Structure 1
Amino acid sequence: MAAHENAHGVLDRGRKVTTDRETEPARAHGVNDAERRPVDTPSFEAASDYRRVRLDLIPLRRRDKMPADKRWQERSYDQGEVLERARRDGLNLGVRLPADVVVVDVDPRNFPAGRDSLAELADAFGLPLASAPHVLTGNQSHPGHHFYFRKPAGAVLLDSVEGFEGVEFKSLGRQVVAPGSVHPTGGLYRWAPDSPPLHDMPDLPARLVEAARRPDRPKKQAAGAGELTPEQLAKTLEQLDPCDFGEKQHDRWRDLMMACHFATNGEGRQEFIDWCMGDGDYRGQEWKVGRRWDSLHADRDEAVTTATLQMFLQEVGGGIAPPDAAEDFDVWDEVEPIETRARRRFLNVNDLKALPPPRWLVPGLLVEDSVAAIYGAPESGKSFLALDIAMAVAGGVDWHGRRVTDGGVLYVAAEGASGLGKRVRAWEIDRGIDVGKFPLWLDHGEINLAAERDGGVRAFVSDVVEELGPLRLVVIDTLNQTAAGADENSAKDMGRYIASMKRIRDETGATVVVVHHSGKDPGKGMRGSSSLLGAMDTTVEVIRDKEMRAITVTVHKQKDAEREPPMRFNLERVDLPGEPDWNGRPPSSLVLRPTVMVDAASDFGGEATANGLTALACELGAAGGTVKASELLDAATKRLGMSKSSAQRAVADKIPEGRIDAVRASWDGRHFWLWCERVGKHSTAPKVVHVEAAS
């Protein structure tokens, strides 16, 4: 049989149809089971697919589905080291799922006799299976399926929907086995030949999201709620014989389940299911046990608490297992260590060419997945700039003519949080956009990113990931207010601050921007240790003019692209609804409006567009050789977000009168000479802009 590649570039060696009842539902969805031969060595040719969509790979045990490390949900993994470790020790790999991805895990063994739960689910909710990236699990006798979908990051789902036995939903806090791993039965997890690429995940239908949405858990007031970790529960249950809680002792089993649910605040689901499978009465009924566990999320009866678990333990002379001391430390647990250290992984030229290019978050200004600083003197307008960028990214709105990559934004307002509300309202009025549904969140709690002993950074990052999911941008305003007690001139203290910024970047997938102050000598750049400048991918300086009506924004460092010429913005007043002040003036705030916007750099795959004022003139006049100044002003206000007065000043500043002083400009890869002339001899005669091709 001829081999061919699927969308992930993985060779498939052909397929044969089996007659197992469990494979019939798969064939109904266009999937024939592949020929299966026992294998022992994992294969991870498609591992890079996951990094391209910001999914983390984690090490699993050899020929197993279980994570190799404790507290794997919270660890920060270097993906190169994970892959090297798996290759060296023959480990499987898992995919750690974020809040906005859900895997539909199909186990046909749990389908009711004569039914196809997957087909029924697809029909009931319009589940687009054909367009979902699809992994065939490696179970030799009962093959299953993993289908990848996107979902709203804030929607927390139950693990299953009643009536569709054999279908589970796995998302934040869970992991699934990556293709290339070896199943305990000897089969290989692999991409289905007709699977779309991983980055083309479709959305989980909204009706299914609502049907599977987990009810809000009641706020438990009883002492002990959530006091055990899932790992503690697993060790604790080892002291109990599941056969003593079989079907004939259903009431004892139910009370134990409720006690375990209470003790872990619902997080010990998989550990309880695994323990139940030690009793033959429950074997093969994982789905039913999970459904019973899920039903407790809406149960407000607190009569069964951790005390019930302790009672059962006392009957056998046991007790609650102590927490693992290692959980207090961020260590790397090796499985069957072969070497005392991991080998360094070197990239060859082909690996280097295969690396995905960097992409703009805001063209010409900020790069995705980077750390950056916006700095300036007090009251320079640096926070106005940071918030202006944050609003554009959150709303998917062009940033003064530049197409941003949109997504969730967190603004850590450690300084001046009370004034942000007025600025947001002014931005909303100025843009004419309802910002009520923007995925933008504000945090104004205390955080110390330069503390010696974590300073709450780990808990902060964990809360952000759990509550908000993946983000595009995190703004920290300011460095001084989030580095209490630190010496800004100390490389050691600032090294800890930089490490915290990078941790936030790595865990959230966001570009992390810190707002900082310039030094006493503005010509020397940012205040503090030179290690700050060295660590930043981008630095942006904001200078306010003497009249306090405009700012100049200058990119001083851009690690992966050429720096742009400075950009200039007016700070213009916007009146807000509300009672006037004592002087009879309405409440107001300031917004940024561009005067002259230069072309954005185009190093990153052509994403940036020629959208400066001169480029706009070239575009409008390229066909006929001239463009009316009035038409250029109108286009500048509509396409570049400029006010009419700002556009008039920009034309006067940027495009000279007379052919002898013509300015050279570029658009669409071509070069032009630009100059203005009046149509008529009178000083008030209208102007036209001449656009002449340059050799």
Structure 2
Amino acid sequence: MNKPTTARPEADTTGARQSTNRKNARFFAQAGLYVFPSDGKIPLVPRYNRADTSLSKEERETAIDEYVEKHGVEPAHVGATKDDATLVKLWRKFPNAVPSISCGPSKLVVLDADLKDDGPRKLRMLFAERGGLPAGIAINPTKSGGEHFVFGDPEGKFSNRAGLLKKNCGTDVRGTGGQFVAPGSIREDGATYGTQADKQNFVRAVVGGKLPTLPDYIVELIGTQPDSESAPLNDSDPVVKGLIEELGVGERDGFLSLFDSTVGKFPLDYIRQCRPDFDFFYDHPSDDRSANRMKAATFLVGAYPELTVNDYAAFCEEWAGAGEYDDRQLAREFARAKLNPAHVSKPSDGSAFEPVEDEGGETGHKRPSHIRASDLVANYKPIRWLVKRLIPLNSVGALYGLPNVGKSFVVFDLASHARRGRDWFDRKIAGGDVLYCYAEGAEGMSGRAKAWADNNDTSGGDVALMNNVPNLFKDPKAADKLIAEARKCEADSGQPVRLIIVDTLAAATTGADGSSDKDMGVVCERLRKVATALDCAVLVVHHSGKDVSKGMRGSSAILGAVDYTLLAEEGKGGSTISVEKMRDASKAQSIRFKLVEVVIGKDGDGEDVTSCIIRPTTVGEGLDIAVDDREEASLIKRGDKREDRVERLIEVAGEEVARASLAEDEATNEIGLTLVRLTTLLNASRTNYATLDGKPFAPLHRKDVSRVVQSAVEAERLSVRGSKYYLR
């Protein structure tokens, strides 16, 4: 297993984090709050903004039907709940979820001060100008450095409308339709929402009835809308009711037939070129998904008044910025957008961007197509990585190399680490679900999976495998099919799909001319649609030509269309993965690895059946160094008896503890290592050694390492406290 960075905690997919979140969910419910599972942003149940006990049979059935239509499976539950048995069931279904609190049913309203808008400072200044923080207020930190200011809303007066509070103080409102992640929760990537003390203080304020209601000056700001906003609409409005009914029965066209630049009825490119602010916003949506949808709706109906609510729903289904929603939200947003659409000039002759002569013969001027650099600076967001400095999120990339260099073993190892949120070759990973689509060498997939499982820690989830890959060239609905399959994975695991692997590109594009820019352009456009819709990384496995120095096999369109390319090739002393292209970022250093043959069973004749796993070829700080092929890797010969293994275990544990001590400023005797971590360290070290007769050390199974650790404890070289081991 690849060695994680020591200066940060491993992504916690273990029982400790899961248990903390599960207990927190039940704790908040016992305090009378309505709780539901989420992944930190996306709710994992429909109607999360309603109490489950308040839903009628018809409302529940409608929610189930909508969920099945979107995800292909029935939801685990409908609505937020405070029933203990229901929460136990939900956390069995979604063990890695974080508990979120539904504001409306819980009679709360939250002021969400966003750090990127300087919200915490601005809001605190406002409070200071008005006499200080209201007595009894609960303040919970968010994972990104913002703050949640929690007030009581016993009459359910407030929605998610922020009015001038957003403009003046960089603060959103979470009311009857809103939710927030409960304090004390821990995300799978290790990000925390405050401490257990924050959790206790919050619940004391709720149970003790100490939470104040919103001060009048805050209510005034919320109630005063910016000029561009219209009055709120609710479900009882006849227009909204009609739109909800239309969403329930109306037919819905596909995204491409509606919004494609060449065949679509409502090409998005027109809006993007007329309104550069929409162009930027579409590619860089904010974290406030409801605000994103509202803004997009105003642009859509402003450009195309004939656009229907079902057309708007089709847009939201594919756009990554739309997030999760229900028909009621879409209907309200669409109705508001129709009342106050954005101004998007549409020439009457259909020539979207050419000057148009008026009746007097004078030439009019098109809308400026430029933006200022300051606009980009104000909206700057750093690249979000799946694998730090190697694979970005919302991207399409390719791993290529000669046949049999080990590409499929590499991507399966990558997929397995990403699924479990574990660092890969010392690089941080944004964990989530993974869909691996394999169409070449299918008979070897089970062997690769077993080899990896036999030699790595399999806790934390499984990679989803798909061997019926739609043809990305011939099938016009190929992207939609991949997206639908990914949505099923998300419904099953309760986690967003972060990575889709297509292995190989040639097998998934049968009939396409690999040397044709046109054919490969179609394929790359469909892959881009998948990446954008799911906000995930798409990685295709491809072959190079016979001369690897000439790059990938086939059309240069592939190289031009993808965001990054990785080259796998054999070198002296091992194989390497190097970054050939990286859009909008510097190239990372190369990774060195080797294929290690392992036995995975016996055949009918009693002979060994083998497969391979990948292992780094260096240890310690050199795991992720740039590779110089002039270097010749030589293995050190040493004994491999139990006492030899104990000595090496103490060596690598000492190195690890020393590094962690410097990074975390803790005494070495206070730094404990888990059995999983010790297994990782020892096996990484073993790649440098060979037996006295020159045979490379094989990786040890965790049970073998457990015996070595026990021997170290018995020899009083290690002590054990709970689930961790400490140097003596």
TM band (smaller chain): 0.3 to 0.5
Q: TM-score, normalised by structure 2?
A: 0.43
Q: TM-score, normalised by structure 1?
A: 0.45
Structure with a larger share of its residues in helix: 2
Q: Which has the higher contact order (CA 8 A, sep 6+)?
A: 2
